[in-house]
Structure 1
Amino acid sequence: MSATNKAVVTTAFIGWMGGHNESLQSLLSDDIEWNISGNSAAAGKTKGKPELMRRVLGPFGARFSGAGTTNDGTRYENDYVWLLTMRNGKAVKGTAFFDSVAFNELWRVKPADLHQN
């Protein structure tokens, strides 16, 4: 990974971990191709940032009341590996690997209302 791409990704993740969802969104190209490997509730492919936000990232974030704390008061812990293909400072392709059992436990938590435009 080039030093520039590494800095862009690092900055986005630091912001996202600090609760700034727009930090992660700014990393993603509008036409990103995203694949979630495995058999989790969110496994599969999405095409474009709007679909990724609607199907995965929006519902993911809506299940948290705070940093790592879900809406039902439990802690969510998981290890993720994201393989990103970068172009002009944006992720154009991504593949996510993680513990699908832990993820599916999170997906059982009732999400907060999502307000979509």
Structure 2
Amino acid sequence: MPAAERSQEVKNKGIVQAAFQAWAAGTGSPFDLLTPEARWTITGHATVSRTYESKQDFLDVVIGPFNVRLSRRLIPAVRAIYADDDMVIALFDAEAVARDGKPYRNTYTWFMRMREGRIVEVTAFFDTIEFTDLWTRLKPQ
């Protein structure tokens, strides 16, 4: 692999690592790296499983309504971050507490395509049964 490509992989991985560290600290998140036109695909058969055609659509339909179901925010614990060409892959666990006091725990893998230090496309895998339980048990307020 040419040095320039390897350098970009290292840079992209570092950008994503920093975003996850900010998320864990409560000072930011990987969502801050999304371009306005970023496409986010949630795999599986959850109510929210589909491709979102913009950052705002994804935040409005999934992230906002998810967060208001929580009494304690989602905190990630990264297991590993990998980079290959323009793709960064994050494997992480995340925990929160729902408004009804029950814990929410899930394991995620996000495949993030990067361009110029920003995320332009994501394919997200996670336990949609755990997610759907929270989503249907609590309604946004």
TM-score scaled by length of structure 2: 0.73
Change (3 A) 1:106 1:23: same
Match of 1:52 among 38, 58, 77: 58
Alpha-carbon RMSD: 1.6
Q: Which residue of 2 is the match for residue 95 of structure 1?
A: 123
Deviation at residue 56 of structure 1 after TM alignment? 0.9
Per-residue CA deviation, residues 71-109 of structure 1 (Å, 9 max, x unaligned), is: 111100111010010001111000001111101011024
Runs of 4+ residues over 6 Å off in structure 1 = none
SS in 1 for 2:133: helix
Aligned residues: 112
Change (3 A) 1:17 1:69: same
Q: Which residue of 2 is the match for residue 105 of structure 1?
A: 133
Match of 1:77 among 105, 117, 122: 105
Q: Which residue of 1 is the match for residue 36 of structure 2?
A: 30
Q: Distance between the aligned counterparts of 2:13 and 2:34, measured in 1?
A: 14
SS in 1 for 2:105: coil
Deviation at residue 16 of structure 1 after TM alignment? 1.7
Q: Which residue of 1 is the match for residue 23 of structure 2?
A: 16
Change (3 A) 1:48 1:40: same
Q: Distance between the aligned counterparts of 1:64 and 1:19, measured in 2?
A: 15
Q: Which has more radius of gyration?
A: 2
- Structure 1 unaligned residues grouped into runs of 5+: none
Q: Distance between the aligned counterparts of 2:140 and 2:11, measured in 1?
A: 36
TM-score scaled by length of structure 1: 0.86
Partner amino acid for 1:14?
Q
